[in-house]
Amino acid sequence: MSKLGKKPITIPFGVQVVVENNIVKVSGPKGNLEYPLRLDCDIEIEDNILKISSKRDDKFSKSLFGLTRAIIQNMVIGVKDGFEKVLELVGVGYRAEISNDKLILQIGFSHPVEVKIPEGIEFKVEKNKIKINGINKQQVGEIAAKIRAIRPPEPYKGKGIKYTDEIIRRKPGKAIAKTEGAKE
């Protein structure tokens, strides 16, 4: 059994969790989320504490037991507080702006790159930072990774799109080596 899967989830004030027809529905002040529950897992809700148990004892059921708990925990956190990823543009002339329902990036290519803003995700651009907010942790992380993949930071100058807490390992550039036969 998963150690993480055994931990109960406390449901905060203002968040409701309902299980109907093997679908977990979580609603809160930020919005609503749904997750189709596997037939291998069982959920008990009592006194604002949610417990997940596995019905079967095979390897596949055990592997999804902790995953199910983590997804439901992220849903509860998402509808209460939401999730945020912050990307930073590093480079001379690198800019971002929001126009209609698209994020337009000017990041050193011959043309601006347009990224469509998905439903349920909110973008904010402040100077050289892009803030991505949403209630679905997976969706926020996925769109942040896609934007970063457009121009990942390079190791020599550090130019590109990076997470604000990301540390770029820098490489030294070319060094002029003195050889024994060279004139000084």
Q: What is the CATH number of the domain that holds 87?
A: 3.90.930.12
Q: What is the pTM of this model?
A: 0.85
Averaged pLDDT, groups of 10, the chain, 184 residues long:
78 92 92 88 88 82 84 94 95 93 94 94 94 96 96 92 93 73 54
If asked whether residues 66 and 127 sit together in one domain, one would say no
- Written as one string, the DSSP assignment of 133-181 is EES-HHHHHHHHHHHHHHSPPPTTT--EEEETT-----------PPPTT
If asked whether residues 69 and 42 sit together in one domain, one would say yes
Q: What phi, psi does 48 have (nearest 5°)?
A: 55, 25
Q: Looking at the domain assignment, is residue 182 inside a domain?
A: no
If asked whether residues 72 and 122 sit together in one domain, one would say no
Domain enclosing residue 24, as ranges: 3-80
